[in-house]
């Protein structure tokens, strides 16, 4: 396990766009986010291809991977913050230089489609990565909650991952310890098998999904695929985040419809990560514990920045 260095005021944050293109109103939003970060005392460096839309639906896979590789190699850059989510960040995998990433460890953060990149980097290098708000979102959120969560984690080194004012539902009681893995359900599902797969053994799996894009039947599809490939036989505990669909059907119902009584570990649910305003920062690759008898049933057991 490789733990990245803390972020300090005056440090340079490198911003990359490895998913959907930064076009139209996104350009202003990204520049507004840059201003917010600079007002907080940081410097911001946009990657070379951040505004590229070479394919008409995104930059090319090589352009996006080159930006990520370059930001890791750049000694002045202390954190890499992914601009926004989208659809195809996994296109970068074969062009990422995992050895250079391993040799130049630093914070990399994002959520949604960025889940693909963060999980595969942790799997291939041992570097702790982070599921947290995207860079653009610090300018578009209605509150500073997610930004403050990022600053608490990356600057202060806080181990707080949940607070008592966040409601936790206990779906299945119990205790479990394991390294955190996961993020967006549809993207995590894509990492189950194949050349670029991640190891779910003895992990605590955290999952969220965007109800606007994934109706309950599709969520069921994703979860059954994971079940059919023994994911739920491997993981020790499950932490569910936000999923809101107009049908009112919950992600925990769909999960229980899928696994029934076959899963032995604890399952909890909270509304502090996912495609929502309030996003905590979840370190991927760090040991955590679920204990459903505690007031806050999930906690980190190791520091995630040095």
Give SS3 for 120.
helix
The answer to whether 147 and 133 are in contact (CB under 8 A) is yes
> Under a CB-based contact definition with an 8 Å cutoff, are residues 1 and 129 in contact?
no
∠ CA(257), CA(261), CA(264), 5° rounding?
125
Is the pTM for the entire model greater than 0.95?
Answer: yes
What Cα–Cα distance (Å) separates residue 191 from each residue in 31, 187, 197? 32, 7, 4
Among 70, 83, 145, which residue's Cα sits nearest to residue 113? 83
Decide if pLDDT at 284 tops 80. Answer: yes
Beta bridge partners of 77: 12
Nearest to 206 by CA among 274, 254, 264: 274
Q: pLDDT class for 164, splitting at 50, 70, 90?
A: low
Dig out the tokens for 134 from the structure.
Answer: 């995207």
Dihedral sign for Cα atoms in the order 82, 87, 90, 96? negative
Average pLDDT, the chain: 96
Longest CA–CA span in the chain (Å) reads: 52
Scanning 23-167, the segments in alpha helix (DSSP H) are 25-39, 61-73, 98-103, 115-125, 137-140, 145-154
Map residue 225 onto helix, strand or coil: helix
Domains of the chain with bracketed CATH: 12-154 (3.40.50.10740), 168-300 (3.50.30.60)
Residue 166: what pLDDT? 78
- Provide φ and ψ at 278, rounded to 5°: -95, 105
Query: How confident is the model over 46-56, as pLDDT tens digits?
Result: 999 999 999 99
Is residue 207 pLDDT above 80, yes or no? yes
Length of the chain counted residue by residue: 306
pLDDT recorded at residue 170: 96
Does residue 228 carry a pLDDT above 80? yes
pLDDT reported for residue 148: 95
Average pLDDT over residues 84-103: 97
Burial class (CB in 10 A: 0-12, 13-18, 19+), 13: buried
């Amino acid at each position: 396990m490789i733990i990245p260095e803390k972020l300090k005021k005056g440090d340079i944050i490198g911003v990359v766009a490895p998913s959907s293109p930064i076009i139209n109103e996104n350009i202003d939003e990204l520049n507004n986010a840059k201003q917010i970060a600079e007002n907080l005392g940081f410097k911001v460096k946009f990657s070379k291809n951040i505004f590229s839309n070479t394919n008409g639906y995104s930059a090319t896979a090589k352009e996006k991977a080159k930006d990520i590789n370059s930001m890791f190699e750049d000694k002045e850059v202390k954190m890499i913050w992914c601009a926004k989510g989208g659809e195809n960040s996994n296109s970068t995998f074969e062009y990422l230089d995992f050895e250079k990433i391993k040799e130049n460890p630093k914070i990399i953060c994002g959520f949604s489609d960025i889940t693909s990149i963060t999980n595969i980097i942790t799997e291939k290098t041992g570097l702790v990565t982070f599921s947290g708000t995207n860079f653009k979102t610090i300018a578009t959120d209605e509150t500073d909650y997610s930004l403050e969560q990022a600053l608490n984690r990356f600057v202060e080194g806080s181990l707080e991952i949940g607070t008592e004012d966040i409601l936790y539902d206990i779906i299945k009681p119990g205790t479990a310890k394991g390294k955190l893995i996961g993020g967006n359900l549809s993207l995590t599902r894509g990492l189950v098998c194949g050349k670029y797969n991640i190891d779910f053994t003895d992990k605590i799996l955290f999952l969220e999904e965007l109800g606007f894009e994934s109706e309950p039947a599709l969520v069921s599809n994703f979860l059954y695929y994971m079940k059919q490939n023994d994911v739920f036989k491997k993981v020790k505990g499950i932490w569910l985040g936000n999923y809101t669909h107009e049908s009112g059907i919950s992600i925990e119902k769909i999960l229980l419809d899928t696994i029934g009584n076959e899963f032995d570990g604890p399952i909890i649910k909270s509304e502090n990560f996912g495609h929502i305003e309030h996003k905590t920062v979840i370190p991927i690759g760090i040991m955590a514990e679920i204990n459903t008898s505690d007031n806050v049933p999930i906690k980190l057991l190791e520091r995630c920045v040095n």
